[in-house]
Amino acid sequence: MIRATAYRALRTPQHEIRQVRGLQTHLTWWGPAPAASDPPAILLHGWQDTGDTFQFMVDAFKQDRPAVALDWRGFGRSEVPQDGYWFPDYLADLDALVDQLSPTAPVRLVGHSMGGNLASLYAGLRPERVRCVVNLEGFGLPSSMPGEAPARMRKWLDQVKTAPPLKTYDSIEQLASIIGFRYPRFSPAQADFVSRAWSKLGDDGRVQLMGDPRHRRETPTLYHRADAQAIWHEIAAPMLLVLARQSEYLPRLGPDGSIEALHTAFPTSEIVFVEDAGHMLHIEKAEDVALLVENFLSTH
C-alpha cells in the first residue's frame, strides 16, 4: 500500500556510479541523453543534502531537459574520503566531473547553498568552461576575523582526536517528523522524500544519515570573503542569483548581504527573490524556482 505522504516523481531518475578523482561518486540523471552540443545542466546540492532532492525542481520543469546531480564526496551515496575534507577538493571534483561530462562545450551550472558557492567559485576559476550559472542562496559566508583563528584551530585539533557520533533515528517517520519541524514549509510528502534521500537503514535496524559525520567538525581555516569576491569578479558567464525572501542565512552577512553589495560581489548577476521561501527554496517553492531556472537556462 502506498503511503499517503509518498511523493510521486514525475520524471524518473536514473542512477550511476563513476570514478571522480579516485572516489566512487554517485550521479542522479534526469531527462533525455545529453549530446555533445547539449551537455546536461549540472546540479550541485548544499551541505548535508544530496543530489536527489533536486527532484522537485526537475519535476516542475516544463521541458524535459538533460540534467545531472552529483552527491559531493562524503554525502549521500558517494564514497567517503579517508583523509577528511578540504574545501578546494570540492572544486577539483567539479572540475574533473565537468571534464568527463562535457570535454569541450561550456556547461550550465545550477547550485544550491554550498553548491551555489562552489558553482560561483568554479565559474570564476574556469570562466571558459562555464556557459551560465544559477546560484540558489549561495552568497558566501560572513567574513572571519583573525582573532578567531586560535580558538577555531584548537577546536579542530580536539575534534580530530575522536570520531564524531553517528546520528541515528528509530524510523523514517521519526526523521521525517524532525525534518518537517526544521523546515515547516515542506509538505509531508516532501519531508518524507527528503528523509529517505538523506538516510539509509543501518545494520542495527536504525535509520542513519548518509552524510559522513566528519563534515560536522569545525573547519580549521578562516573564511576570507575578500578572497572569494576576487574569484567572483573573474566570472564571465551570466548568473542568476536567486534569494529567498525569508532566508535564514542572508541576514547573517550584515552589510555584505545588501542588494548593492551582492551586485558588487557578483558583477554579472541578475538578482531575484522568491516569496514565502526560506533557504531550502528549491524544495519549498519548487515550481517558482523551476520557472526561474528553466527560463534562464533556455536563454543562455
- Nearest residue to 279 via CA among 245, 256, 239, 240: 245
Q: How many CB atoms sit inside 10 A of residue 77's CB?
A: 18
Instruction: Please report the pLDDT score of residue 4 as a whole number.
Output: 54
CATH topology of domain 14-142+213-299: Rossmann fold (3.40.50)
CA distance 42 to 105: 13
Q: In whole angstroms, how large is the CA radius of gyration of the chain?
A: 19
* Mean pLDDT confidence for 201-215: 91
Question: Which region among 85-89, 185-189, 246-250, 273-277 has the lowest average model confidence (pLDDT)?
Answer: 85-89
The residue with greater pLDDT, 4 or 36, is 36
Half-sphere exposure of 250 (CA within 13 A, CB side): 20
pLDDT per residue over 158-205, tens digit each? 999 988 888 899 999 999 999 999 999 999 999 999 999 999 999 899
Which residues touch 168 (CB under 8 Å, ≥6 apart)? 202, 204, 206, 207, 208
* Mean pLDDT confidence for 240-265: 96
Instruction: Please report the pLDDT score of residue 290 as a whole number.
Output: 98
Mean pLDDT of the chain: 94
pLDDT per residue over 87-111, tens digit each? 999 999 999 999 999 999 999 999 9
Residue 130 has pLDDT above 80, yes or no: yes
Burial of 175 from C-beta contacts in 10 A (0-12 / 13-18 / 19+) = buried
Cell for 167?
546520528
Instruction: Please report the pLDDT score of residue 2 as a whole number.
Output: 46
Cell for 160?
580530530
pLDDT per residue over 41-80, tens digit each? 999 999 999 999 999 999 999 999 999 999 999 999 999 9
The fraction of the chain above a pLDDT of 90, given in percent, is: 87
Q: Show me where the domains of the chain are located.
A: 14-142+213-299
Instruction: Please report the pLDDT score of residue 3 as a whole number.
Output: 56
Reading phi first (left if > 0) and then psi (alpha if -120 to 50, else beta), residue 31 is in left
Question: Could you tell me the pTM of the whole model?
Answer: 0.95
What DSSP assignment string belongs to the chain? ---TT----SS--EEEEEEETTEEEEEEEESSPPBTTBPPEEEE--TT--GGGGHHHHHH-SS---EEEEPPTTSTTSPPPTT---HHHHHHHHHHHHHHH-SSS-EEEEEETHHHHHHHHHHHHSGGGEEEEEEES----PPP-GGGHHHHHHHHHHHTTSPPPPPEES-HHHHHHHHHHHSTTS-HHHHHHHHHHSEEE-TTS-EEE-S-GGGGSPPSSPP-HHHHHHHHTT--S-EEEEEETT-SSGGGGGGGGSHHHHHHHSTTEEEEEETT--TTHHHHTHHHHHHHHHHHHHH-
CA distance 69 to 61: 15
- Nearest residue to 160 via CA among 101, 220, 74, 223: 220
